[in-house]
Structure 1
Amino acid sequence: MDMTTAGDTGLLDSLQHQVAVFARRAEQTRLGGVGQVRNSMDRAAYLLLNRLDNEGPMGVKALAASMGIDSSTVTRQVAPLVDTGLVKRTSHPEDGRAVVLELSPRGHARLDEVRSSRRELMAQLTGDWEPDERRQFCALLTRFNTALSARQAAVQGTAPAEDPATS
């Protein structure tokens, strides 16, 4: 299907421009939140901690698969989280040779701080929006992220992340 019909070209140009502006601004601010914890956690760390919090302890391969990224990338991104005490490595309960990653109590506390700060930022940025507008924006952004994840998986010949909206 040709998505660039004459009527859509201007709208698609505007959409791609707004996505580029969003990506730049999100990276500039890291959408880090407000207050003392603003800009205090990078995107990779936040997504890894969030995934471990939502899904519980898991091995590197399972974490990588659930996020749609390579195991070596997860290993590299987890190392500083272990070093700073946000994530701990433990033995798998059924196979003591396998390593399981889980949030430490410090990791839970830090993630709660960052989530609260980011929640406050979202409240400020959308303060003049109606609740239904927030829901619509979230639904459309989730749909957009899901489509991006599926496209990336198709190009790479891999399965899409289990929940692309959170990876």
Structure 2
Amino acid sequence: MAETKQIVFPGEVIESGDIKPRNGVYKNRGGRYCSQYFGTIQKGDDYIDVVPFTGHYFPRRGDKVIGKIIEIGPSMWTVDINSPYMNLMHMNDTPWKMSSGDIKKYLGIGDYIYAKVMTLNEIRESWLTIKDVGLRKLEGGHIISVPAPKVPRIIGKGGSNGKSHKRAYWNKDRDRSEWSHMD
């Protein structure tokens, strides 16, 4: 039988026990933890999150993301990862040797990348890298955006549907999921 996820409303008290509250959870005046969003509770070994049904993606260090190049500067790219904050990638965070000014030869506007969130600053801007194993420019496939609740149906039981593809990149995050099927 499938596991039923608990649906919570904004302001609803969440019993966290000994688990550390993280995203989508706040402490009210009475010292109790409450949901910040209308969504589902997601528990890990040592944390509890509330995953909103709708909204933007808020990156965390180490997240792997699919992003679209939307702007090119002299030495960096601006990347859309469906976050309300700025997401940048410097030319030194790619596997290519290049000089300032000719970076559009490597990644142009509209190109997609599979990247990792390297750092976040105090205003929630994230810095991305494709200088790691498996990270790269995505070519020759399709990018689709999938609402998070539909991802399990596409993946299938035990990942059975995903195994039928030669290469598939899943970006299954707290607020949204994307899939790129590479032939």
Larger helix proportion of the pair: 1
Q: Give the shorter-chain TM-score range.
A: under 0.3
Which structure has more relative contact order (CA 8 Å, sep 6+)? It is: 1
Give the structure-2-normalised TM-score: 0.24
Give the structure-1-normalised TM-score: 0.26
